[in-house]
A and B are shown apart, each in its own frame.
Chain A
């Protein structure tokens, strides 16, 4: 195993982590502020990918598609909040899960009705095509480096937004005591819609960025959503910092597990078995990690509500 390979795999883990952070940040923000479990968050991710793919196909520009994905997913999020989610804040989590699960079905079938069941084509913009040289003699796709960059920018932006702005102050106040902030004259309904749209836009951004790497198809959101839930459970529900740490942890553990476990097992098992067994174990690894963290820190690494 060369150093170049190790560096490349670490970057892969980091990139997967950053991707998960974009999805998990919105999810955890919405849970932190509104106390709402939104299963349909993965649908917003899908909306972003489809908006980007269809607008990019129509205009020929990935960048216009990216802007469209932000607009479309934020709009879909705001619409979702105003029409359905708003009625759920006072209900218990089971009602929220049922209603947002129904939204998944509505979004999936709606998208299938609009775009069909076959995957859409979305390519990486020409400026980000190709690979760059890494120290140690390796190469790494420029686009994945750009995703890591976007993730770092979003993390910094969210940190400033929540820590340094008036809006952030209201979000934090909303997390702590929603009755009091409403009594102080803040329009809590508008604040909730705004936070929901912000979370949705982040999910849509992730969908558009990932769509260029993977396939843009109905149902793409749910596997991502499951990982995002693992991330926020590990990081501590409601904590942006927890989402960042949890996402990078999950990204690294998953990637390095897939890479190293079959090799470790090959030392003891015959080669024909080491591959499948290693792959099976690697796919369980992040859930084992989640179980361990739940056992020792039940509220996650950085719980906002401990």
Chain B
């Protein structure tokens, strides 16, 4: 009997030790080449920095480039699950890639934490205990801007790329926007010439334009819009005016209002430390993709301190607690494992020579998403 007790105690000691520093393998699939690379690189850099700063030497990252191609992302995910035997996965930027990878990965009992994409199809009836979204549900930023635009505009022309996040974007905007629509246009993903769409905007009689075009798409649109002679004001989600694209858009973005859950001037200790550490390490300001990724890494680190990644139930419960210092201030998970958080309106300003965003208003407090009720978890 004493032997059994002693063995039990020894096992407990071992387990407690394991919970502190067991080897953990995290698969990071993100976009590191092509037109969307800026977003993925910010994601990866912030994640690596957070892991380095934690001093946890047992975390091993397997980072792979998906080149913004769904078929490639699926192959990489299979490889990470089957041969690298990763414990957790994260990193995907684009919703069409997320849709291709996440349902399959979580079905194989891999916990996936999204640092960016939040397609509506995975937030409602198809929610999954292994899928945590640390960023947002896709509709969120657009809902906020739809609500805010009610103040100034009555007839808006809306524009987004033709993929899951683009459709979620305009659905979200329309959910809160009460004015009329002067037009609703879907462009190709990766499109670089917007002359045809700008011509339609000019002819539409709109009093404002709302566009969701992340990465290089937004740069191209804004530059062409500025040259077109159309002087209808634009608004957008933070993705269209985030730190990764502002330098390339230039002064055309100055004064544009956009929505987001984070800005570099958000006043909390975690955010100050993050902005300082990121700028010092990489010599540039972080974007919202970096902020979300930083939070994802810190959420994982907080859960690793509470439970073993091998004990899925305990680890999921530890993640769900969201017991970490978010750079966004308040953060908790909804029943569908998507965030409940504040959403702000920011304005593009110039600090010295650098274009960046400054918070000017709060659009929503403790905002969840429209699909959580359909989630059976």
Chain A residues packing against B (C-beta within 8 Å): 1-2, 4-5, 8-9, 12, 15-16, 108, 112, 117-121, 123-124, 129-131, 138-144, 210, 212-220, 222-223, 255, 258-259, 262, 271-272, 275-276, 278-280, 283
With beta carbons under 8 angstroms apart, the residue of B184, B188, B196, B219 that contacts A12 is B196
Interface status of B7 (Cβ within 8 A of chain A): no
Interface status of B25 (Cβ within 8 A of chain A): no
Q: B223 to A118, Cβ gap below 8 A?
A: no
Interface status of B202 (Cβ within 8 A of chain A): yes
A65 to chain B, nearest CB (A): 15
Given contacts A1-B203, A217-B216, 16 further A-B contacts (CB under 8 A): A4-B203, A5-B203, A121-B249, A131-B227, A139-B230, A141-B227, A144-B227, A215-B245, A216-B248, A217-B35, A217-B37, A217-B38, A220-B35, A255-B196, A258-B187, A271-B184
With beta carbons under 8 angstroms apart, the residue of A8, A12, A117, A143 that contacts B227 is A143
Q: B245 to A119, Cβ gap below 8 A?
A: yes
Interface status of B354 (Cβ within 8 A of chain A): no
Q: A215 to B185, Cβ gap below 8 A?
A: no
Q: Which residues of A contact B219 (CB under 8 A)?
A: 119, 214-215
A2 to chain B, nearest CB (A): 6
Q: Which residues of A contact B245 (CB under 8 A)?
A: 119, 215
Interface status of B369 (Cβ within 8 A of chain A): no
A129 to chain B, nearest CB (A): 7
Interface status of B313 (Cβ within 8 A of chain A): no
Q: Which residues of B contact A210 (CB under 8 A)?
A: 192
With both beta carbons as reference points, the residue of chain A lying nearest to B227 in the complex is identified as A141
Contacts A5-B202, A276-B186, A279-B162 given; indicate if A214 touches B196 (C-beta within 8 A): no
User: Complex Cα distance A33/B24, Å?
Assistant: 57
User: Complex Cα distance A236/B189, Å?
Assistant: 29
Q: What are the nearest 6 A-B pairs in CB distance?
A: A131-B229, A215-B219, A12-B195, A119-B248, A219-B34, A279-B186
Interface status of B228 (Cβ within 8 A of chain A): yes
Q: Mark B195-219, 1 if CB is under 8 A from A, else 0.
A: 1110110110000000000001001
User: Complex Cα distance A142/B229, Å?
Assistant: 10
Q: B190 to A213, Cβ gap below 8 A?
A: no
**Cross-chain pairs A/B with CB under 8 angstroms, 14 sampled:** A2-B203, A117-B38, A143-B227, A144-B227, A213-B193, A214-B193, A215-B223, A219-B34, A275-B184, A276-B186, A278-B186, A279-B188, A280-B162, A283-B162
With both beta carbons as reference points, the residue of chain A lying nearest to B221 in the complex is identified as A214
Q: B228 to A141, Cβ gap below 8 A?
A: yes
Contacts A214-B220, A215-B248 given; indicate if A117 touches B37 (C-beta within 8 A): yes
Q: B33 to A124, Cβ gap below 8 A?
A: no
A247 to chain B, nearest CB (A): 14
User: Complex Cα distance A276/B37, Å?
Assistant: 26
Interface size bucket, B side?
Answer: 35 or more
Q: A131 to B216, Cβ gap below 8 A?
A: no
Contacts A9-B199, A213-B224 given; indicate if A283 touches B250 (C-beta within 8 A): no
Chain B residues packing against A (C-beta within 8 Å): 32-35, 37-38, 41, 162, 167, 184-188, 190, 192-193, 195-197, 199-200, 202-203, 216, 219-220, 223-224, 227-230, 244-245, 247-250, 284
User: Complex Cα distance A123/B37, Å?
Assistant: 22
Q: B33 to A108, Cβ gap below 8 A?
A: yes
With beta carbons under 8 angstroms apart, the residue of B32, B192, B230 that contacts A215 is B192
With both beta carbons as reference points, the residue of chain A lying nearest to B162 in the complex is identified as A279
A120 to chain B, nearest CB (A): 6
Q: Which residues of B contact A15 (CB under 8 A)?
A: 195
User: Complex Cα distance A232/B230, Å?
Assistant: 34
Contacts A255-B195, A283-B188 given; indicate if A118 touches B247 (C-beta within 8 A): yes
A11 to chain B, nearest CB (A): 8
Q: Which residues of A contact B193 (CB under 8 A)?
A: 16, 213-214
User: Complex Cα distance A300/B203, Å?
Assistant: 37
User: Complex Cα distance A158/B292, Å?
Assistant: 52
Q: A223 to B190, Cβ gap below 8 A?
A: yes
With both beta carbons as reference points, the residue of chain B lying nearest to A131 in the complex is identified as B229
User: Complex Cα distance A107/B333, Å?
Assistant: 44
User: Complex Cα distance A103/B124, Å?
Assistant: 45
B31 to chain A, nearest CB (A): 10
User: Complex Cα distance A217/B247, Å?
Assistant: 12
Q: Which residues of A contact B247 (CB under 8 A)?
A: 118-119, 121
Q: Which residues of A contact B216 (CB under 8 A)?
A: 119, 214-215, 217, 220
Q: Which residues of B contact A2 (CB under 8 A)?
A: 203
Q: Which residues of B contact A112 (CB under 8 A)?
A: 33, 37
Q: Which residues of B contact A255 (CB under 8 A)?
A: 195-196
A112 to chain B, nearest CB (A): 8
Q: Which residues of B contact A280 (CB under 8 A)?
A: 162
B173 to chain A, nearest CB (A): 13
B236 to chain A, nearest CB (A): 16
Q: B224 to A276, Cβ gap below 8 A?
A: no
Q: B35 to A219, Cβ gap below 8 A?
A: yes
A194 to chain B, nearest CB (A): 31
